[in-house]
Structure 1
């Protein structure tokens, strides 16, 4: 069959190419966690565009790749949209890999199911299995639910995204950014969600169209594919400018100053983690562990301590360890322990670090401190 490169197919192809380029740019952006979710979202749209171009131009007669994995990448749209908006609204929240994979369960399930179908196909083809009916049954089940369920998954995540946005907008509080910046972020998310609502309405109408109208093969997909192409161009030209505006703000948020109110709030959490939960007793304590315990970005800890407490992380932790040592040096319960033993029990992992930290904080050596204090008590 001759290839069909009409203007609609070419427009879909060019849109898919732009979406692919833009998704790669976002996925390679390591400074801003939210960018990777938008990157996956754009990659899903780009893949869908290539998939559509493949069958609409009759290229599928020569290239079978897109026929092997239908209705897989389209499942990434909903989770990616939700995680991207979550990252913009709550930049201080750290998403663990397990949590991210949980959100991406639908596309992972689709991929595994499709791989299973392909494996069974090759087993039947090579006469390892002889039950062709099992293969046909698996394939039938996959195509029976895959398209309709992809819409349901997208609508569920769209609802969750809207709910997340409404709740955040009602509180008018995105951590450590000004009200002016908040409004710009809200405006960008609102525009993005509006486009997604349009897609959420057009998608089920597109899929149900053949049940109400007598249409030729797959022609009912063209309107929504053109909508997606326009959306890709909008993201690429208009949205990218807004994204560039927001992402540097995220960078300044992590590396620059933080509002006094938020700094105080996080400082209270840091102090509580040390004073009440005694995290400093862990000799291997680091920023990442404290950040995971509190639920904030590790870089935020450095910003708070450097700008609002005039301390780095190690000095902050060692202050609590030194105070712990001081208490134990004067306690009769610890007379059987050496000073080095007390230091190790208080969270220090080396004698040199302990001696240096103690003298910097107290101005004298641990032995001198113990002797002086015991004399006053005696």
Structure 2
């Protein structure tokens, strides 16, 4: 792989990153308070890439007055946007407190000081008589950018992997995507730190490795992100329609016929039909037994005594009934079938299709076509 090809690859990544970040920020398809911070982070990543390219091809040498752009430490802003994105992703309704603005202080201070220095060196607006402090400032700025990125990575790890959150079915499913996204984030920061160490000891130019990883990150977000964003948006809109249905006196609920008179069994059915606990993809026998107030072993005996079906069969029944109701309803006709299945409680595409065919004998698409045509 030669340098020319690498530069071409980086350029394509910049274009794609710019396109996708602007789409997130301004397209109605992606637009949300949460995605605003992701779009901002990606756009900042693009500008960091552009800074690298301009520096490499000596553009600043030909246009020295624009060198101030090189001094703007966007690496102090990039991790803050991603940190807020993680917070909003996991807690969409949470309002950002003023303490989050404190995270912007390092970037704001850096920007003001660099503009002040630039006024002396690049624009000749005034003279700074004592310039000895400037090199010390750049050193502090450099280490502050590394420390800030590392600290926020640790905090984000605690938020994503260790902190217990309130049950949110959409977040439980999409947390796989956000954790992979976080993995890329860690890879970018770790590569950056390692390359800085190598550059300090060996004085080599290895930075193209970082830009290749960053551009692969853009490709991945562009390829996977579009699908995930559409799915997430569909699920959000489906939930809004379902919530409106709940308020309607005509709303229907999936019901089981010939319910056994066992009180514990009836409580289970009530939890599934009235509280719709089947929508939780992680729902287990332990959860139901705890809510009913009996042991898991006794709960299993109750299921075995009153029915030939397993607990999983009951969950599958209610989830499939919910899907059947939605996919033949005109209010849901514009939504992705998988998004409907996930909102009904299935935890994956394969579980959804297998469970639906087991219950109906058809795939979701076949069932939809069959009933719409009839």
Correspondence for 2:103: 103
Determine which of 167, 176, 192 is the counterpart of 1:173. 167
Matching residue of 1:150: 145
Looking at structure 1, the residues matched to 197 and 122 of structure 2 have their Cα atoms a distance apart, in angstroms, of: 33
Match of 1:163 among 158, 166, 183: 158
Judged with a 3 Å threshold, the aligned counterparts in structure 2 of structure 1 residues 10 and 73 are, in CA distance, closer, same or farther, namely same
Query: Displacement, 1:80?
Result: 1.2
TM-fit CA distance, 1:186 = 0.7
Counterpart of 2:119?
119
Match of 1:249 in 2: 235
Shift of 1:230: 0.8
CA deviation after TM superposition for structure 1 residue 33, in Å? 0.4
Q: Rate the CA distance shift 1:116–1:214 in 2: closer, same or farther, 3 A.
A: closer
Deviation at 1:38, TM superposition (A): 0.3
From 220, 235, 257, the counterpart of 1:234: 220
Q: Is the 8 A contact 1:60 1:67 kept in 2?
A: no
1:376 match: none
How many Å apart are 1:138 and its aligned residue?
4.6
Equivalenced residues, count: 244
Alpha-carbon separation, structure 2, partners of 1:13 and 1:66: 21
1:208-357 pair list within 5 angstroms? 208-215=197-204, 219-253=205-239, 257=243
Are the structure 2 counterparts of residues 52 and 27 from structure 1 closer, same or farther at C-alpha, using a change threshold of 3 Å? same
Q: 1:223 to 1:5 in 2, by over 3 A?
A: closer
Distance 1:95 1:101, change over 3 A: same
Q: Which of 8, 12, 36 pairs up with 1:10?
A: 8
Which residue number in structure 2 is paired with residue 200 of structure 1?
A: 189
CA distance in 1, matches of 2:54, 2:132: 26
**Partner-residue secondary structure (3-state), 2:92:** coil
Residue 333 (structure 1) aligns with: none
CA contact (8 A) 2:79 2:149 kept: yes
RMSD: 2.9
Structure 1 residue 82 displacement after superposition: 1.2
CA shift at 1:114, angstroms? 1.2
| Deviation sequence 1:325-360 (CA, Å, 0-9, x none) | xxxxxxxxxxxxxxxxxxxxxxxxxxxxxxxxxxxx
Partners of 1:27 and 1:35 within 8 A in 2: yes
Gaps of 5+ in 2: 247-273, 277-374
Q: Which moved more, 1:225-234 or 1:198-207?
A: 198-207
Contact 2:18–2:43 (CA under 8 A) maintained in structure 1:
yes
CA distance in 2, matches of 1:155, 1:251: 36
* Structure (1 or 2) with the larger CA radius of gyration: 1
Partner of 2:59: 59
Match of 1:76 in 2: 77
Asked whether the 8 Å contact 1:26–1:39 carries over to 2, the reply is yes
Show structure 1 runs of 4+ deviating over 4 A.
251-256, 258-262
The separation in 2 between residues aligned to 1:122 and 1:193, in whole angstroms, is: 38
